[in-house]
Amino acid sequence: DIVMTQSPDSLAVSLGERATINCKTSQSVLSSSNNGNSLAWYQKKPGQPPKVLIYWASTRGSGVPDRFSGSGSGTDFTLTISSLQAEDVAVYYCQQYYRSRTFGQGTKVEIK
Binding site for other proteins (CB under 8 A): 38, 40, 42, 44, 49-52, 55-56, 61, 93, 95, 97, 100-106
Q: What are phi and psi of 7, to 5 degrees?
A: -145, 145
Indicate the residue among 30 and 52 with the shorter CB distance to other proteins.
Answer: 52
Indicate the residue among 65 and 83 with the shorter CB distance to other proteins.
Answer: 65
Indicate the residue among 80 and 97 with the shorter CB distance to other proteins.
Answer: 97
